[in-house]
Amino acid sequence: MDSSATQSSPEASRFLSETESELLDLSVEAQRADWVYATYITPDSEALSARAFARFVAATVRRAKESTRFGPGELGPIDRRKTLLLRLSLPLIAPDDPAESLELTRLVAAMQGAYARGRHVPVGQTSPLDLQGLSRILSESRDPALLADVWTGWHAVGRVVRPEFLRYVELANRGARGLGFADQGAMWRSKYDMEPDAFAREVDRLWSEVAPLYRSLHAYVRSRLAAVYGSDRVPERGPIPSQFLGNMWAQSWESIFPLLAPPGADPGFDLTKLLVDRATSPEEMVRYAERFFVSLGLPALPPTFWERSMFVRPRDREVVCHASAWDVDAEEDLRIKMCIEITGEDFQTIHHELGHNYYQRAYAPQPYLFRDSAHDGFHEAVGDTIQLSVTPEYLVRIGLLDRAPDASRDIGLLLFRALEKVAFLPFGLAVDRWRWEVFSGALAPEEYNPSWWSIRRHYQGIVPPAPRSADEFDPGAKYHVPANVPYMRYFLAHILQFQFHRALVRTAGVPGPLHRASIYGSDAAGRSLGAMLALGMSREWPDALEVVTGERRMSTAGLLEYFAPLQRWLDEQNRSAPVGW
């Protein structure tokens, strides 16, 4: 049978039809069980959720491996894409050997358990703190000795997971090779509708375009921190010690904004106070976000959303409060799970989470294997795109703010957002850049930690509080590494959200600077966005990107335009300061 055939063989068609039916049923079962566990944590609900998820994963792995018996000549183009997506649908494939498969499952569970149990007693205190408590100290304290102690104390968790990680790499690679991929990293890169090496080059291109903006931000932050802590602790040249950046992994820096804020940085309003003064309820917080999407011409959320979502922390049981969006039955049973507080931060988070829900609803009519975003960066980017429209002008239009602040306040707003978005970019790149080298075998185990810091110094311009030995395993102190969660999606989302925003603002015909523009109320923007969302994964991501942007290549132009006023301001601030490290 010729590889250009438009029809699949009867056997292949039957296999894929049965696969989609089986996996849909198991997925819905797993989603329901996981919802019960997340909103009613007990040993029983945990066991039932784990069992349902294990059934779903086992069936997915079995079906993915069975699909390798069909060559390209037996598959039409649609089924060829479905088969590829099936093989890429899980970030971890166990080896064929049952004993090794069980070992790999236990290794990942053991690493996650060790991470979750991580604790440290900060200097001067008597009780151990978990990651949340230690992170609070990093974001709030200005005591250099305490910051270094907390950073070092948490990173000790990496040494605990290191032995399991070494064996995990070996078994994960064996599973990936069983599906025809060179290694685990190549399997992850194959999700992006291009050859793995071509995707790596594409990522490098994107970084090269935004690196000058990051270096300008880095130079400004370094000079301000040197003024606060002294040049003996934060050098006026070279990399920044990571413990001073307000985040355990120096991945975002907005918590140290008070140390960096220029004169006049106060935006002139406090969104949290505006919401509290209006006695806004948690449900009304969600209603604001729903009305945003309805203003774009998209349908209101189904009644079951309001009946089944969790908006507040229950008083009678333990729950997982981390905000998340759910598509329980792959049709209309959409939900969010949050312990909403009446804050400006949660107001924006809700807009983001509903972005996921509207994406889920739009691609629900697609076949099961196409029910996801065009690539994994798209899902996160869509939610963040909506957040970019939560501007002072939007707050005026919905009656929360009397008038937008003067443009003279914009630098403060842009700097805060850059500390969140631009500061993240090199970290979002570095995590998987390092793992690609690990999985490929380019790094020996004794090189894991030195290479981790070499890569982070190269991209981020940061260093640890003190030299780290090869026996440490600092990558293990970031959840996504021991939990086997690919990270490149977050880097891509931070690029794509500005590309989407720029295109939708133009479609909506909104005048003024990009950072002030909101697509609220634009049917035209809603039609464009909705058309892309409805494609799901049925087409390669350049096709989906083109629907909204008219472009077939990921672009940093939107991000650079958005932060252009800040870039000019940073250049002025850095006139007498060194840039780079």
The pLDDT tens digits of the residues spanning 524-580 come to: 999 999 999 999 999 999 999 999 999 999 999 999 999 999 999 999 999 988 999
Higher per-residue confidence, 47 vs 246: 246
256 and 112 both lie in a single domain? yes
322 is catalytic: yes
Say if residue 1's pLDDT is above 50.
no
Q: What are residue 366's phi and psi, to 5 degrees?
A: -70, 160
pLDDT in tens, 98-152: 899 889 988 998 898 888 889 999 999 999 999 989 999 999 999 999 999 999 9
Residue 432's domain comprises 101-267+422-486
327 and 459 both lie in a single domain? no
426: in domain: yes
Where is the domain boundary, 90, 115, 130?
90
480 is catalytic: yes
284: in domain: yes
121 and 143 both lie in a single domain? yes
Where is the domain boundary, 486, 516, 540?
486
579: in domain: no
According to DSSP, residue 519 is labeled -
Helices first, then strands: H and E counts in the chain:
23, 4
What pLDDT does residue 5 have?
56
501 is catalytic: no
Map residue 98 onto helix, strand or coil: helix
Q: What are the DSSP calls for 336-360, one per residue? A: EE----SSHHHHHHHHHHHHHHHHH
Length of the chain: 581
299 and 399 both lie in a single domain? yes
395 and 522 both lie in a single domain? yes
315 and 400 both lie in a single domain? yes
Q: Which of 155, 218, 352, 375 is catalytic?
A: 352
Count CB atoms within 10 A of the CB of residue 121.
Answer: 12
Is the C-alpha dihedral spanning 110, 112, 116, 119 positive or negative? Answer: positive
Q: How far apart are CA 490 and CA 479, in angstroms?
A: 14
Say if residue 281's pLDDT is above 90.
yes
444 is catalytic: no
Q: Which of 353, 459, 501, 503 is catalytic?
A: 353
490 is catalytic: yes
Q: What are residue 184's phi and psi, to 5 degrees?
A: -60, -40
318 is catalytic: no
156 and 212 both lie in a single domain? yes
Place of tokens 């969600």: 286
Q: Which of 288, 490, 520, 562 is catalytic?
A: 490
Q: How far apart are CA 139 and CA 136, in angstroms?
A: 5
What pLDDT does residue 405 have?
87
132 and 182 both lie in a single domain? yes
pLDDT in tens, 493-537: 999 999 999 999 999 999 989 999 999 999 999 999 999 999 999
Overall number of domains in the chain: 3
Q: Which of 250, 380, 472, 517 is catalytic?
A: 380
554: in domain: yes
Q: What is the pTM of this model?
A: 0.93
497: in domain: yes
516 and 456 both lie in a single domain? no
Q: Which of 323, 330, 524, 564 is catalytic?
A: 323
pLDDT in tens, 363-400: 999 999 999 999 999 999 999 999 999 999 999 999 99
CATH number for the domain harbouring residue 202:
1.10.1370.10
Which is nearest to 376 in space by CA: 199, 175, 126, 144? 199
Q: Rg for the chain (alpha carbons), in Å?
A: 24
Q: What are the DSSP calls for 176-245, one per residue? A: HHHTT-SSHHHHHHGGGSS-HHHHHHHHHHHHHHHHHHHHHHHHHHHHHHHHHH-TTTS-SSSPEEGGGG
457 and 531 both lie in a single domain? no
Q: Which of 5, 58, 447, 480 is catalytic?
A: 480
Q: Which of 356, 375, 379, 515 is catalytic?
A: 356
297 and 379 both lie in a single domain? yes
121 and 47 both lie in a single domain? no
What pLDDT does residue 267 have?
78
According to DSSP, residue 324 is labeled E
Where is the domain boundary, 443, 463, 486?
486
Q: How far apart are CA 205 and CA 554, in angstroms?
A: 10
pLDDT in tens, 144-197: 999 999 999 999 999 999 999 999 999 999 999 999 999 999 999 999 999 999
64 is catalytic: no
531: in domain: yes
Q: How confident is the model at residue 407 (pLDDT cuts 50, 70, 90)?
A: confident
Q: How far apart are CA 253 and CA 212, in angstroms?
A: 18
What mean pLDDT comes out for the span 353-357?
96
113: in domain: yes
Q: How confident is the model at residue 41 (pLDDT cuts 50, 70, 90)?
A: confident
410: in domain: no
